[in-house]
Amino acid sequence: MKITIIGTGNMGSAFVKQLTLAGHQVKVTARDSAKATQVAAAHPGASAVATAGSAADADAVVLATGYADAVQALQTVGDLKGKIIIDITNPITADYMGLTIGHTTSSAEQIAQAVPGAEVVKAFNTLFAQVLGDGADFGNGRKASVFVASDSVRAKQVATTLAQSMGFEVVDAGALNNARYLEPLAGLNIYLGYGAGLGTGIAPTWIRKA
Ligand SMILES: NC(=O)c1ccc[n+]([C@@H]2O[C@H](COP(=O)([O-])OP(=O)(O)OC[C@H]3O[C@@H](n4cnc5c(N)ncnc54)[C@H](OP(=O)(O)O)[C@@H]3O)[C@@H](O)[C@H]2O)c1
């Protein structure tokens, strides 16, 4: 697939690595074009592109900025009507130990409202960048899970296909408003990783009796 990634930070860089390894055509864009060039150069199959128009031929856009920057970043990449946006953001507080919104909304729903023509899917927000960068394999046959929530069947299918192409298990988490559960789940993961000292080589998953 053709994927545009907005952002070259921890998650953006990890997506560039794993999506190119999985054989996707990746474009990466950033406020700092030198950083985009540097990240793309490290991964054959990736190219750095100017922000304006970078979503034009993308099958999906991965939004890898902080939540506070998300809407503004989306507004710079061109017409998003009919585009699939993979929202990985978590609306975390400055000390990483809380969420700035929740219960009655989520960052995914706020972003969807701000870009009404786009099809937003919440996904990958419960994976630490280290886990995404290292890959899905947790050893002994265990795989990390990607939870996908969207009101768009097509967006959910694309996020599922991308996650599976990178080796992740996928859990269908229902409609986009279930991002209200997925964002706190990421908050718990952050607490366990940093607050409780388990480190960033952890990921939430769901198990079912055979
Ligand atoms: N880190 C994790 O383990 C993790 C896990 C799950 C989800 N997430 C979520 O993923 C998102 C990214 O996290 P991160 O750790 O990768 O953050 P990060 O390292 O701070 O990277 C954020 C990136 O967004 C870019 N950016 C900001 N505004 C932009 C704009 N208007 N246009 C283009 N790029 C813009 C920044 O560019 P500059 O370099 O110019 O500032 C930076 O490259 C966050 O919403 C976070 O909650 C993170």
Mean pLDDT across 176-184: 98
Atom of ligand 1 nearest to the CA of 200: 3
Structural domains of the chain, ranges and CATH numbers in brackets: 2-195 (3.40.50.720)
Mutate to test the pocket of ligand 1, among 27, 35, 54, 65 (most ligand atoms within 8 A of CB): 65
The neighbouring-strand residues paired with 84 are 119
Nearest alpha-carbon partner for 200 in 79, 192, 45: 192
Dihedral (CA of 190, 192, 197, 201) sign: negative
Residues 125-155 pLDDT 10s: 999 999 999 999 999 999 999 999 999 999 9
Query: For residue 138, what pLDDT is reported?
Result: 98
What is the C-alpha separation between 79 and 208, in angstroms, rounded?
41
3-class SS letters over 141-208: CEECEEEEEECCHHHHHHHHHHHHHCCCEEEECCCHHHHHHHHHHHHHHHHHHHHCCCCCCCCCCCCC
Angle (nearest 5°) at CA 110 between 107 and 115: 125
Ligand 1 centre from 209 Cα, in Å? 37
Task: Evaluate if pTM is beyond 0.95.
Answer: yes
Query: For residue 24, what pLDDT is reported?
Result: 98
Residues 183-198 pLDDT 10s: 999 999 999 999 999 9
